[in-house]
Structure 1
Amino acid sequence: MTVTYLLLARLPEGRLDAFDRYESAVLPLLAEHGGRLERRLRSLDDRVEAHLVSFPDDEHFAAYRADPRRSSAAPLLEASGAATELLAVRDV
C-alpha cells in the first residue's frame, strides 16, 4: 500500500542556502528507498517549502529516514533553522 507524506518546512529569513544544501544531499536518496518526490513547492517569499512524497509502504519510508547519509546531512538542516512538520496524507 502506497504511503504519502506532506513535509512543510518553515525557513527563517536568510537561511535558504543551508536548507538547499540539505535538500541536495537528501532528496536523491528518495529513489534508492523506493520514494518519489511528487511535488516540491516554495512560497514566493522563500520562507516555506512543501514536499509531497510517496513510498511503496511504511518500511521503505522508515529505511529512508534511517539512511546514515541522511543522518550525516542533519547538521545542514539544523544550520538552516527550518521548523519542519511531517504529515501522513491521503487523496480525498
Structure 2
Amino acid sequence: MAYGRRVTDGKLLLVAIVEMAEGHAEAGQRYEDEVLALLPRHGGTLDRRMRATDAPTEVHVIRFASRAGLESFMVDPDRLALRDKLGDAAPTTRVIEVRDV
C-alpha cells in the first residue's frame, strides 16, 4: 500500500480501491469484513464501504487519527495472518490519500 502527503491536521483520509481476486469475490469480501474490523485498534474508522455494481470491486473511505495508526494497522499481526491465510485469493488494494476540497 502506498500513501502520499500528510493531511495538515494530522489525520489521514484514505480511499482504498479493493479488487477481489478472480473467482474469489466471496472469500475476499469475508477477508475485508475481518480486516476492517481491526481498524479501531489503530485509531481508524471506516466512513463508507461500497461495492461496484458491475465488478468484484469495493471502495472504502477510511480515516486514521494519525499516520502512526495507519502504519501500525499495516503491520498488525492479525491482519497479516488473515492475508497469509487467504494466499492467492487475497484482494489487491490501491490506497490513495485524499483531502476534502
Q: Aligned equivalents of 1:51 and 1:61: distance in 2? A: 14
Total equivalences in the alignment: 91
> Does 2:88 match 1:78?
yes
Task: Answer whether contact 1:16 1:46 (CA < 8 A) is retained.
Answer: no
> Does 2:76 match 1:67?
yes
**Structure 1 consecutive aligned stretches of length 4 or more whose deviation exceeds 6 Å:** none
Task: Answer whether contact 2:21 2:28 (CA < 8 A) is retained.
Answer: no
RMSD of equivalent CA atoms: 1.6
Q: Aligned equivalents of 2:18 and 2:41: distance in 1? A: 23
Q: Aligned equivalents of 1:45 and 1:21: distance in 2? A: 19
Shift of 1:31: 0.8
> Does 2:19 match 1:10?
yes
Q: SS at 2:58's partner residue? A: strand
Q: Aligned equivalents of 2:87 and 2:32: distance in 1? A: 8
TM-score of the superposed pair, with normalisation by structure 1: 0.87
Q: Which runs of 5+ in 1 are unaligned?
A: none
Q: Which runs of 5+ in 2 are unaligned?
A: 1-9
Q: Aligned equivalents of 1:67 and 1:18: distance in 2? A: 20
Residue in structure 1 matched with residue 61 of structure 2 by the alignment = 52
TM-score of the superposed pair, with normalisation by structure 2: 0.80
Question: What is the identity percentage for the equivalent residue pairs of Structure 1 and Structure 2?
Answer: 34
Shift of 1:49: 0.6
Task: Answer whether contact 1:8 1:49 (CA < 8 A) is retained.
Answer: yes
